[in-house]
Each structure stands twice: as structure tokens, then as C-alpha cells.
Chain A
Amino acid sequence: MKFVLRIWRQADADAPGEFLDYEVDDVSPAMSFLELIDTLNEKLTERGDAPVAFDSDCREGICGMCSMVIDGQPHGPVPGTTTCQLYMRHFKDGARITVEPWRSGAFPLVRDLVVDRSAFDRIMQAGGYVTVHSGPKADPNALPIEPELAEEALDAACCIGCGACVAACPNGAAMLYTSAKVSHLALLPQGQPERYERVSKMVEQMEAEGFGACRNYAECEAACPKEISIRFIGRMNREYLRATLLEAIDRRGRMDSQ
């Protein structure tokens, strides 16, 4: 197979960027999309050009590092798949394929196809946890959890944090990501004591990072490699509404003053 890759090249955040065309021949249908870029990079290096910078690590669809918009779709044309699990047999021989980085104001470009997704980490740091020290705990079977509940929490918790939801959203909203973590802990008994404080803080951080608002386009769900449902966004909105009806308490401040 052979392809023409139209790739976004940009040396750093301040440099102007442009699309450049690259022809790649002798492509095996068994090659993954990232291996195609690897092959291109080998050629670029050999002829003294800068290889295309891109993020990837596990290459088995779980670390969430890879992040390419392929022909306008985050992670490309195959549903429920990360870029690293995309194979060239999914493409038409001779096709011209456009490759761009995640596009969102909250994900500043670093180089070529690499963007800065640290905004996601800061949302998590704002409240995406259960406060618990390391050490002896009660036996977990003392707190039975219905299997359906555990499974639903896992449906949300399986988010790989790749950011495809943001890249797919016309508004650049991070609602699917944030709601997945909020829902995971709101569903479980362990998450109850900090339930409303968590949703308030995470939503506030999400807004402070400059992500857009949700308009129910549902593009996020369609792009999500883990096929996380937008019903979690509805759940987060309900959680947030309830939180706003409760009196705000700075519980940590109280504990510190003891």
C-alpha cells in the first residue's frame, strides 16, 4: 500500500505551523498507524529532516498517551479505538490522510502532534480522589457493594485520559472526562464523604482551565476510545446542582484549625 500523509508541523508553541505532505510507499496492511509514522520518521531522519514529534507509550490502547486527529476524527475512523490500535488495512490504498494534533485552547501545542494535557491532571488534583492515608484499613467485605454498582463505576473509571473527547467537541468541553471521574467516585460508598465538595472543585477547575461548555453534541462519546457514555455528563450535572444547593463548608480548613 502507499499513502500521502498530510501532517501538521510546528517546531514549538510560538512558531508558525503548516501542513506538509509526505509520501510513504511499501506500507504493509499489518502496520499500525503509529508504525507508519515510525517508518516515515526513519526516512526523514535518514535524509536529514526533523522527524514528526508525537506522543505514544504503551501502544496497546490503555495508557492514553497517543493523540492524533486523523482525517478530522480523534483517533481516526475506527470506533472504540486509540490511534495506536489503528491499522493500515483500515485505510484505502493510495489515500491522502490528514494528521493533526488535538486542537483545544486548553491543550497548548508543544511540537508537531504533541500537546500539553496537564489541564486534565489539574482537574484530578482539584478533587478526583478519596482522602485516605496508606495503612491498615477495615476489611473491604465489611462494606458490600452491589456488583452492578461496581460495574457502572468501572464503566466510568476506565477512562484513559487521552483527551479525544475534548478534541472532538466543537466547544472543546472536558465534560466527559470530568464526569467520568466524578461519577466513578460518586457511585461508590467510599466516595460519599467528599462527594459534593469533589464535584464542585473539579467543575470549577475544569472551567478555570478554559474548557468550553457542553451543548450535547455527543461528539465526545463517539470519539471516546473506551466508549464512555454521555449519561455520565448528566450524572455530573445533577451532582453539581445538588452541590450548589448545599451550604458550602470548607471542611479541611476546619480540620486544620484543630
Chain B
Amino acid sequence: MDLDARIPEAPIEQMWSTHKEHLRLVGPRNRPNYRLIVVGTGLAGASAAASMAAMGYRVDCFCFQDSPRRAHSIAAQGGINAAKDYRNDGDSIYRLFYDTQKGGDYRSREENVWRLAELSANIIDQAVAQGVPFAREYGGMLANRSFGGVLVERTFYCRGETGQQLLLGACSSLAQQIHAGNVQMHTRTELLDVVVVDGRARGIVVRDLVTGEIRSHAAEAVVLATGGYSNVYYLSTNAKGCNVTATWRAHKRGAGFANPCYNQIHPTCIPVAGEHQAKLTLMSESLRNDGRIWVPRNAQDERSPSEIPDAERYYYLEERYPRFGNLVPRDVASRNAREVCDQGLGVGATGFGVFLDFRDAIANHGADVVSSRYENLFEMYERITGESPWNTPMRIYPAPHYTMGGLWVDYDLMTTLPGLFAIGEANFSDHGANRLGASSMMQCLADGYFIIPLTIGDYVSSHPFGDVDTSHAAFADAERGARERIEGLCAIGGSSTVESLHRELGRIMWDHCGISRNADGLKEALRLIPDLRDRFWNDLKVPGGGQELNQSLEHAGRLADFLEFSEVMCRDALERDESCGCHFREEHQTEEGEALRDDVNFSHATVWEHRGDDAEPVKHEEPLAFHALPLAQRNYKT
């Protein structure tokens, strides 16, 4: 597997501009001859499709939802970072680069991270030009706020719905290109396979989710913008439909999968209420600024929380981390919540929850101040739980939220399968072992608006256009495979529902490859997953057939891929015998319980190669360089 990232030879500060100057171009009159496929319409996919179509390329764009605007980027709340230095507080490209590298615990590719920081300012300019109504100050200038893990104010926002507004901006540009005929939009259509001809990605096989029709689309290049894989845990903050199918199918066709074990668990989500739970809802992390986190010291305490005196409350973060208290980094907060719950101290019906208490904040600052800061969040919490945080502490618990791993890409965002590109959360390159707050949207839009429209031209310009269409035998083969798989799923005729099996997989992954991992647990998971996969293929019950709208069948196809992917994820977690960022191996921690990296042996991205369903995947390594920012121990305590 060729893992040459094709890093341009130039100082990091001039690398992207130098590279742009040397990329091969496709002339405006020639662009309509090239067909490009974009799968996914979140921030990365919508911005990429709109930008490339506006340049003149012929774009086919796909989403499984009924409209491109529904992709899960829409749910991003907090904001988007940009190194504008509007606040004159010392921000710069270097500082954003530094924060992202440090936040990622030195497990990202620094050249990509630098470019991300460099492009961050352009994203805000682009979004404002589209009419995105960012918050403004009284004088009409753009407002900023600060976000976790940084010392400057560089986050731009639209109330708590920044993702929605940025996505609607990107989708408005996409809508214009659809209207102009430059983008053919295929909604309610799901990718089932990537088609490879002569070693290059030349198209995809899709299923029309309404009619069940399987069909092919050919192109000169394929871009996957299909998001992350947090739903491997069944319960996550992702939308119900988010899945690993596109990236996994691409992986099986030759695209290396990098760092699958890196996934971020968000500490402040509303806990599971019962077996019926279908997804988890994130509460803004800002709540930790004023809320105090605790559990009862006595595991059998039946009293209502307000009746429990301070002496019998275990403010475990304040006791264990006296300097940072409730504001420890995300991973530390998540691990500690799990620990106290595992000790039997958890609260709520399931015992998997901890209190986040505003009693003292209300007493010290007054209800007005607390209300001005958190009113919306209190309302949201009450709507979901039926409990008012004014009267009783909130209950929170960590939940899977974002996946840093993804398809390996080079500097041009191309995977190891020539002609196949991966952008946004679907690739691996920018967030290392942990993503900093307000950085996911920045990466999606940098990739989609500014990087892929140029690098894809460089790729296609050196290839002929229109030489392969869907009549090529490779398409027929892939279609046949997809059809057989659908028929196979419908024909199992067992007794287990997709939901129940997905829940089981979620439990395995959460228990053994979740907030913290150890070798024994991961080995146990690697024993349990193939058993569950066998049960899936022998005892699944999918009602209905393949020639109709069949949501159980859609889910079954996605779960089949999760059941394969989860094994590589556990294998990756086992192989990475160090702790870094969100990957916490219990065997490797400091005395204070922090992640302990092993830079000598693990300063690399792990890239997995698929060698067939019955063969072991092969591990490759891309060594990481640290020229612009030397390695250092991540430390949020001083």
C-alpha cells in the first residue's frame, strides 16, 4: 500500500500556495467533459459539489435523506473556528495550528493541519458572502466567543445553530448549481459499492431507497463525504442514518482505513433513559463552567438529590483534579464519569448518570445570571427529561460523538485508491487522536470549498474523460454483488431484528472499545464480534423485500458493514499499545490518570489494508513528522 502523502516541498507556511501554483489545471471549456461524483451532502459534500459544479464540472451528488439539507452537519451547535484575530488577542494561523495539533495529541499530519488553519479565515468570508447570519456586535462587526481548550476568542457562531446555518449556506450554493443543471442531485439514494476499473475509482453502485432499483453511475473521480462511524456504538449523538457503509465499501475496494480506534466521547449528554433509547442528545459543554458534577457517596442513597447534604456528596472531579475541577478536558471528564458509575455510584434509573448541579451557581450568581447563560439548554433538558434543572440537578453521561479516524488521504485528499477522494469527517488527516471543539465544520468546509476543487482538477487532468461508462463489465459485476447482498439479507428469514442486533454490537463496542480500553477487553470484543456477525447472517429477520421502500433493509445493510468495520476498530485499538487523546489504554496512564503517549513506537498513523473477507487485514504505518511543532506532553493543568 502506497502511503506517500505527496507533501509538497516548500516551507510549511508557503506549502499550500506553492502547491496550488503547481497543480495541473483543467480549462473552463474542458471541465464540463469531466463527470465527478460526490457522495454525502453535509458541509463537506455540499460545499464540494457546489464549488466544483460552479467551476463547470458535471457533478452527480447523492444523499440518503430526502433532501441534501438534512445531512447531520445541520446539528452542529457551538461554532466554527477561524484565525481572524478580530479580538487582537494574539491569534494567528500558527496558534490555530498549534491548538489543533496539541488538541489532537500530536497524532495528526502537521502539513494538513497547517493548511486547515491557513484556510480557516476564508471559510468565514465565504459563508458571510452566501448570507450566513453570523452573530454581530453592536457596531455590526462579527462577534466571537471562546471554546474549549484554547486561550483566544476565535469562534464564530449563529446562536446555537451554527451548523444549520453553515449547511444551509452550502446547500443554497448547491441548489443554485442543481437549478443551473450542473449538479444532478440524487436524494433518497444510498451508495452500495465503489466501482474500480484498471485500478482507479470510476463510479459507484447505488440503491434508490424508494423503488429499490440498483443502478450505476460512472465518473472520472469519486468524492466520499459520508461522515463518521459513531453509530457503531448504536447509541451516539449522530443522526440515526449515519453509517460507515460508503467508507467501508471503499475500504474493501482498496482504500486504506486510518486510525479507526480514534473516536471522541462527549462528556455532557443526556443519559440513557431505558432500553427503548434510540439516540443520545448532546448538551453544550459550556454547562460545565457553572455546574458542579457529583454523585452520592453512598451507593444506596435513595434520597432526592436536594436532600443529600454536601458531606455526603462526592464532587469527584473537584476532589481528584483540584486545579481544574469540573473543567478538565473532555476525555478526562468522560473517563471519570464512567469510573464512578462502574463503582455503583451512578444516578438515575439505569445507574449510568452523574449529577450536574446548578444549585450553588444559582445561589452565588442569582437566577438571572444563570438564566441568561443557560436558559435554552435548561429548556431543552426539561423538554427531554421532564425535570427542571432549576429544582433538581441535571443528569449527564458521556456519549460517542465524533470519529477522528477515517479513510487515509494524501495532501490532495486522495485515498490509496486512485480517483477516490475523502473529505470531512470521512477522512483521517486533521484531528489526530482528539478533535478540538469548533473544528469539525472548519475542516469540512476547508476541504469542500477550497481544497478538493483544486486537487481533483490536478488528478483528472492527467486522465482521459468519458473512456469508461456504466456499460463496462466492472459495473455489472458490482451491481450483481449489490443485488445478491440485498437478496441475501431478505432471504435469511431468522428471528432477530436489525435493531436488536445493532444494540448488541453497540454494547460490545461501548464496553470494550469505548471511553477506555484494555488488551483483555479488546480481545474479548474480537471474540464476540465474529459470533454476532454469524448470528446476523444466520438469524436476521428483514420484513419485506428489496423492490420497495424498506427501512429495515437499509438498516440491515448498514449494520452488516458495522459488523465488519468494528473488528478493525478493535484491532486498531489493540495494536495501538499507548494512550493518546481519546484513545485511552488503561495500561498506559500517568499517576494522575492522564493519557500516556509512547512517541518512540507510535508516532504514526495506522493504516489498514483489506485483503479479502477471509484474510487478516494488513497493518501499515505512515510516520508523522513534527517539524513545525515539536512533540510535547499534552498538559491542560499549567
Residues of A near any B CB (own CB < 8 A): 11-12, 28-32, 34-36, 38-39, 41-42, 44-46, 48-51, 53, 55-60, 62-65, 81, 85, 87, 89, 110-111, 114, 116-118, 120-121, 124-126, 128-141, 143-147, 150-151, 153-154, 157-158, 160-161, 184-185, 188, 190-191
- Tell me if B165 and A157 are in contact (CB < 8 A): yes
Among the listed A11, A118, A129, A154, which residue makes an inter-chain contact with B67, where contact means beta carbons less than 8 Å apart? Answer: A118
- Tell me if A118 and B274 are in contact (CB < 8 A): no
Q: Which of B486-520 contact A (CB under 8 A)?
A: 495, 497, 499-500
Taken residue by residue from 114 to 152, chain B's Cβ proximity to chain A (1 for < 8 Å, 0 otherwise) reads as: 000000001011101111011111111111000000000
Residue of B nearest to A63 (CB): B70
- Tell me if A150 and B134 are in contact (CB < 8 A): yes
- A30-B386, A154-B133 are contacts. A63–B75 as well, Cβ < 8 Å? yes
Among the listed A89, A130, A153, which residue makes an inter-chain contact with B172, where contact means beta carbons less than 8 Å apart? Answer: A130
A184 and B129 CA atoms in complex are apart in Å by: 13
- Tell me if B125 and A138 are in contact (CB < 8 A): yes
Residue of A nearest to B282 (CB): A60
Chain B positions within 8 Å of A126 at CB level: 179
Chain B positions within 8 Å of A44 at CB level: 543
Taken residue by residue from 158 to 182, chain B's Cβ proximity to chain A (1 for < 8 Å, 0 otherwise) reads as: 1101001100100111011011000
| B524 on the A face (CB < 8 A) | no
- Tell me if A50 and B543 are in contact (CB < 8 A): yes
Chain A positions within 8 Å of B349 at CB level: 30
Taken residue by residue from 46 to 60, chain B's Cβ proximity to chain A (1 for < 8 Å, 0 otherwise) reads as: 010011001100000
Chain B positions within 8 Å of A53 at CB level: 549, 551
- Tell me if B74 and A58 are in contact (CB < 8 A): yes
Chain B positions within 8 Å of A154 at CB level: 133, 158-159, 165
- A45-B541, A60-B75, A62-B161 are contacts. A134–B67 as well, Cβ < 8 Å? no
Chain B positions within 8 Å of A131 at CB level: 176
The minimal Cβ–Cβ distance linking A101 to chain B, given in whole angstroms, is 13
| B324 on the A face (CB < 8 A) | no
- Tell me if A65 and B161 are in contact (CB < 8 A): no
Chain A positions within 8 Å of B277 at CB level: 35
**Chain A at the B interface: mostly helix, strand, loop or mixed?**
loop
Residue of B nearest to A46 (CB): B497
Q: Which of B47-106 contact A (CB under 8 A)?
A: 47, 50-51, 54-55, 65-72, 74-75, 86
A51 and B548 CA atoms in complex are apart in Å by: 13
Q: Which of B345-378 contact A (CB under 8 A)?
A: 349
Residue from the set A29, A45, A48, A114 with the largest chain B CB neighbour count within 10 Å: A45
- A30-B386, A49-B543, A154-B133 are contacts. A124–B142 as well, Cβ < 8 Å? no
- A51-B543, A145-B140 are contacts. A157–B172 as well, Cβ < 8 Å? no
**8 nearest A-B residue pairs (beta carbon):** A144-B140, A129-B172, A137-B125, A140-B128, A30-B273, A134-B51, A125-B179, A147-B136
| Selected A-B contacts with CB under 8 Å, 30 pairs | A11-B548, A12-B549, A30-B273, A30-B386, A32-B278, A41-B552, A45-B543, A45-B552, A51-B543, A51-B551, A51-B552, A53-B549, A62-B75, A64-B69, A87-B386, A118-B187, A120-B67, A124-B171, A125-B176, A136-B125, A137-B129, A138-B125, A140-B129, A150-B133, A150-B134, A153-B131, A157-B133, A158-B161, A188-B131, A191-B131
Residue from the set A124, A139, A143, A191 with the largest chain B CB neighbour count within 10 Å: A124
- A46-B495, A134-B47, A154-B133 are contacts. A147–B140 as well, Cβ < 8 Å? yes
- Tell me if B168 and A157 are in contact (CB < 8 A): yes
| B383 on the A face (CB < 8 A) | yes
- A55-B66, A134-B126 are contacts. A150–B384 as well, Cβ < 8 Å? no
Residues of B near any A CB (own CB < 8 A): 47, 50-51, 54-55, 65-72, 74-75, 86, 122, 124-126, 128-131, 133-143, 158-159, 161, 164-165, 168, 171-173, 175-176, 178-179, 185, 187, 210, 239-241, 273-274, 276-279, 281-282, 349, 383-386, 449-450, 453, 495, 497, 499-500, 541, 543-544, 548-549, 551-552
- Tell me if B142 and A140 are in contact (CB < 8 A): yes
Chain A positions within 8 Å of B143 at CB level: 147
A51 and B542 CA atoms in complex are apart in Å by: 10
- Tell me if A134 and B239 are in contact (CB < 8 A): no
Residue of B nearest to A187 (CB): B133
The minimal Cβ–Cβ distance linking B243 to chain A, given in whole angstroms, is 11
Among the listed B138, B176, B187, B239, which residue makes an inter-chain contact with A57, where contact means beta carbons less than 8 Å apart? Answer: B239
- Tell me if A136 and B133 are in contact (CB < 8 A): no
Chain A positions within 8 Å of B541 at CB level: 45-46
Chain B positions within 8 Å of A144 at CB level: 136, 139-141
A147 and B142 CA atoms in complex are apart in Å by: 9
The minimal Cβ–Cβ distance linking B467 to chain A, given in whole angstroms, is 28
- Tell me if A158 and B164 are in contact (CB < 8 A): yes
- Tell me if B176 and A129 are in contact (CB < 8 A): yes
Residue of B nearest to A85 (CB): B383
- Tell me if A141 and B86 are in contact (CB < 8 A): yes
Chain B positions within 8 Å of A125 at CB level: 175-176, 178-179
- Tell me if B133 and A188 are in contact (CB < 8 A): yes
- A118-B67, A126-B179, A184-B133 are contacts. A136–B164 as well, Cβ < 8 Å? no
The minimal Cβ–Cβ distance linking B476 to chain A, given in whole angstroms, is 28
Chain B positions within 8 Å of A121 at CB level: 67-69, 175, 178, 185, 187
- Tell me if B131 and A190 are in contact (CB < 8 A): yes
A188 and B131 CA atoms in complex are apart in Å by: 7
- Tell me if A39 and B69 are in contact (CB < 8 A): no
- Tell me if B133 and A137 are in contact (CB < 8 A): no
Chain B positions within 8 Å of A118 at CB level: 66-67, 187
- A35-B276, A42-B500 are contacts. A132–B281 as well, Cβ < 8 Å? no
Residue from the set A39, A60, A161, A188 with the largest chain B CB neighbour count within 10 Å: A60
- A30-B385, A118-B66 are contacts. A38–B158 as well, Cβ < 8 Å? no
Residue of A nearest to B138 (CB): A147
The minimal Cβ–Cβ distance linking A69 to chain B, given in whole angstroms, is 17
- Tell me if B276 and A39 are in contact (CB < 8 A): yes
Chain B positions within 8 Å of A191 at CB level: 131
- Tell me if A57 and B241 are in contact (CB < 8 A): yes
Among the listed A58, A151, A185, which residue makes an inter-chain contact with B239, where contact means beta carbons less than 8 Å apart? Answer: A58
Chain B positions within 8 Å of A41 at CB level: 552
A146 and B139 CA atoms in complex are apart in Å by: 7
Chain A positions within 8 Å of B384 at CB level: 85, 87
Residue of B nearest to A189 (CB): B131
